[in-house]
Amino acid sequence: MVAMKGVDVIAEVLRREGVEFIACYPHNDLIEACARIGIRPVVCRQERVGIAIADGFSRTTNGKRLGVFVMQHGPGAENAFPGVAQAFADNVPLLVLPAGEPTSRQGIKPVFSAYDNYGEITKWRAFVPSVDRIAPTLRHAFYRLRTGKSGPVLVETALDALAAELDGELRYEPVVGSRFGPDGLAVREAIDAVLAAQQPVIYAGQGVLYAQASDELVRFAEMLDAPVLTTMPGKSAFPEQHPLSIGASAITKPDHMMHFLREADCVFGIGTSFTRTLYGTNVPSGKVMIQATNSEEDINKDYVVQHALVGDAKLTLAALIAELEARGVDRGPGPRAEDATTRKNALLDKWRPEFESNEVPINQYRIIADLKQRLDPAATIITHDAGTPREQIISFWEAPTPRSYLGWGKTTQLGFGLGAIMGAKLAEPDKICINIMGDSAIGMVGMDIDTAVRNGIGIITIIFNNGIMAIESVALSNAHEAYGANFQGGHYADLAESLGAWSRRVEQPDAFLPALEEALTAAGEGRPAVIECVVKAGYIWPGRGEPGS
């Protein structure tokens, strides 16, 4: 029997757990140990992009195939912090494996301890001081990743434990998570409340995605003839071409969505934490609130909740459906679905001049319309960066299937979308994977286009280059007038080409679709593609500005 070192124990556990690749940034001996047994290393340019790659992979697979990030002790753990904070904010299951200082150096300043410093941004964390504790700790880590409310888990292993030899044979079996359902009485009382309502609305979050409960959500909504809106990270949990869909929300506030939310007398939250945020739609007061979530931490946090259901979203919806069936309730889709469709079509008609615009610089909505015209959204995964691109696309891109859209951007740093879409492509290599970002975001992470090139990850990045941080125009009005503080600049197609990507700079609206065709060909051959679009500086979206302004 060949003796196993600590790094080999971790690598073998990852292999047995089905880990397909590790996103990473040297130096950590675990990278070599994984490569020796066939686990592919995807080496990034900076740690937070590597975290985003692993994060996007976990999101795209609903956590059924887990993203893993490996980094160096000390500076690697320091630089990875914002990426893990992003995963924590969005409740993404992610395994983070930093090396740790030797046990003899623990607690000595200025040694950076990931275990100590990541406590507020991880679901669970552990420090492993000896080789014999590696497998048991990882066993519990994988259980936590697969059970309950999702979030990143960190296991920091001391350098001497990584180098030490395991005494005896590794005994490790893959871990199965647990699910739990809601109390039966709570289900009946929740159904009593929603049936007593005249205008119920369903507010769905990404818990529906992680539970793979979209089919059950559709059935539940149809039985109630209740319109459905989703949170930003929950977008795609409900098919947005369905007549009961009233879209997703960020800062954007489409008229038809807000109409139903204002008029609602009961709001039924499923798979959502009901967190008040500037980057979403908060529920107006005076509603009966029903909340179904897999974490008691979410309940009665920001809202008074009259009815709470604690459990897995799929099991909860199944119980709710069974109760409705037992009562003989099956309303639709009916009049409220017809009303929702009519109001949504009115919104699209209102914005149609933007979609058909021939303006120069290019109107961003024209690009979104061209993408919708050319692509099959069911065969596409699309995401955005935070800021203006997020607001411009979220109301108008219809996501027909779960995870055909990756929504994010509540509390997070610019540039996440580039790594996330790489992770999505690694998870779904046969799908077209597109990230839309602004010139501020490409300034944060642009060098990691090289990561996609080196690893043959055929993504398409569309850059909205308007030479300014549009969403900050009001916040920087005096600074910009006096000092030009809001200007951005660059020829990003040239940057992408220098890094080995296919690229094109588009300045006329009619040139976008031909460029997209070439980009699709390049990406289909495993070569990342970048389309830099010179766009107008305006930043209107539903709820902020009117079409034509």
- Convert the pLDDT of each residue in 170-227 to its tens digit: 999 999 999 999 999 999 999 999 999 999 999 999 999 999 999 999 999 999 999 9
Are 383 and 530 in a shared domain? Answer: yes
Give, in degrees to the nearest 5, the angle at Cα 251 between 271 and 464.
Answer: 115
Is the per-residue pLDDT at 538 higher than 80?
no
What pLDDT sits at residue 548? 78
Which residue bears the tokens 């047994």?
A: 37
Whether residue 38 is found in the same domain as residue 71: yes
> What is the DSSP code (8-state) at residue 285?
S
- Amino acid identity of 61? T
- Residues 140, 201 within the same domain: no
Note whether residue 82 is domain-resident: yes
Is the pLDDT at 56 greater than 70? The verdict is: yes
Percentage, residues of the chain above pLDDT 90: 86
**pLDDT (0 to 100) of residue 469:** 77
The answer for residues whose C-beta is within 8 angstroms of residue 341's C-beta and 6 or more apart is 243
Residue 473 is predicted with a pLDDT of: 75
CA distance 459 to 496: 13
Residue 450, judged by CB atoms within 10 A of its CB (0-12, 13-18, 19+), counts as middle
Same domain, 213 and 333: yes
- The whole-angstrom distance between residue 289's C-alpha and the CA centroid of its chain comes to 26
218, two tokens: 């559709």
Q: What is the CATH number of the domain that holds 418?
A: 3.40.50.970
Tell me if 100 sits within 8 A of 163, measured CB to CB.
no
Q: Tell me, what's the pLDDT at 111?
A: 85
Mean pLDDT of 21-33: 95
* End-to-end Cα separation, the chain, in angstroms: 73
480/364 same-domain check: yes
The answer, yes or no, to whether residue 512 has pLDDT greater than 70, is: yes
Tens of pLDDT, residue by residue over 241-298, are 999 999 998 899 899 999 999 999 999 999 999 999 888 899 999 999 999 999 999 9
For residue 543, the model assigns a pLDDT of: 85
Q: Counting Cβ atoms within 10 Å, is residue 149 exposed (0-12), middle (13-18) or buried (19+)?
A: middle
Residues 374 and 334 in one domain: no
382 in any annotated domain: yes
Q: Domain with 206 in it: what CATH number?
A: 3.40.50.1220
Q: Of 305, 340, 375, which one is at a domain's C-terminal end?
A: 340
- Domain-located, residue 417: yes
How many Å apart are CA 256 and CA 332, to the nearest integer?
A: 20
Residue 349 lies in a domain: no
- 171 occurs within a structural domain: no
Residue 100's domain comprises 6-163
pLDDT at 1 over 70: no
Give CA–CA dist 177/149, Å, rounded. 12
Confirm whether 477 is domain-assigned: yes
DSSP 35-66: HHTTPEEEE-SSHHHHHHHHHHHHHHTTTSS-
- Environment class of 144 (CB within 10 Å of its CB; exposed 0-12, middle 13-18, buried 19+): buried
From 163, 197, 221, the end of a domain falls on 163
Same domain, 287 and 386: no
- What pLDDT does 267 receive? 98
Residue 400 has pLDDT above 80, yes or no: yes
Supply the mean pLDDT for the chain: 95
Q: Does residue 284 form part of some domain?
A: yes
11 and 129 part of one domain: yes
> Considering the domain boundaries, does residue 64 fall inside one?
yes
How many other C-beta atoms are found inside a 10 Å radius of the C-beta of residue 487? 12
Q: Is the pLDDT of residue 425 over 80?
A: yes
CA distance 549 to 419: 33
Cβ-Cβ contacts under 8 Å for 368 (sequence gap 6 or more): 355, 392, 393, 396, 397
Angstrom distance (rounded) from CA 291 to CA 268:
6
Number of domains in the chain: 3
Does residue 426 register a pLDDT over 90?
A: yes
